Amino acid sequence: MIDNLSFQKRIWFFMSISALLLASPCLMAEKIGSVSTKFKILGANDKIVIEAFDDPDIVGATCYLSRAKTGGISGTVGVAEDTSDASIACRQVGPIELPENVKNGQKDGKEVFKKSTSLLFKSLQVVRFYDPKRNVLIYLAYSDRIIEGSPKNSISTIPIMPWR
């Protein structure tokens, strides 16, 4: 009886943590579209998803991210691990006024987007840097795991220009 109760508590704990992790991916991403890359008889097809997100600290900066999404039964249920492939393109979509903590480098390397790409341990992140010499925002997309990350990455820049 005690052993069974302990097992139930562990299952409940695992399910609670999983639900939190699945609910915590960045809610600010807007799905723009997707294309199928591999047909699956059961479950959703593998695809490339295009999402847009605005920089939470810099009004007028928007990034578009394309990433792989694994289909099949495991992908449909949410237990598949997506590949580390991603591409990013960021654009100035309005007037940009940099906050002081971005101008002085205090927010360099700040995470502006994060998406879980496996059930527990893998995520796709976008971090921002500012190059004051060239007045350019730099966005780096990369994948990481708790144990080891991936060297696959993508970069995009926004030269800050006066808005007409």
Q: Digits of tens for pLDDT over the chain (164 positions)?
A: 556 557 666 665 555 554 444 444 444 789 999 888 877 677 777 788 899 999 999 999 999 999 887 776 665 656 566 677 889 999 999 999 999 999 998 889 999 988 876 666 778 889 999 999 999 999 999 988 766 767 889 999 999 999 87
pLDDT of 9 reads 63
pLDDT of 54 reads 96
Do 128 and 137 meet the contact criterion of CB atoms below 8 Å apart? yes
pLDDT of 38 reads 75
- State the Cα torsion 11-12-16-19 to the nearest 10°: 60
Q: What is the pTM of this model?
A: 0.73
Alpha-helix residue ranges (DSSP H) falling in 25-99:
72-77
Using alpha carbons only, what angle is made at residue 109 by residues 104 and 112, rounded to the nearest 5 degrees? 105
**Rounded to whole angstroms, what are the CA distances from 147 to 57, 68, 117, 123?**
30, 21, 15, 12
Task: Indicate the DSSP class of residue 118.
Answer: S
pLDDT of 47 reads 85
pLDDT of 23 reads 41
Unique residue bearing structure tokens 């960045």: 26
Question: SS3 for 122?
Answer: strand
- Cα–Cα dist 38/45, whole Å: 6
Q: Is 61 exposed, middle or buried (0-12, 13-18, 19+ CB in 10 A)?
A: buried
Unique residue bearing structure tokens 């976008």: 126
pLDDT of 163 reads 85
Phi, psi of 161 (to 5 degrees): -120, 155
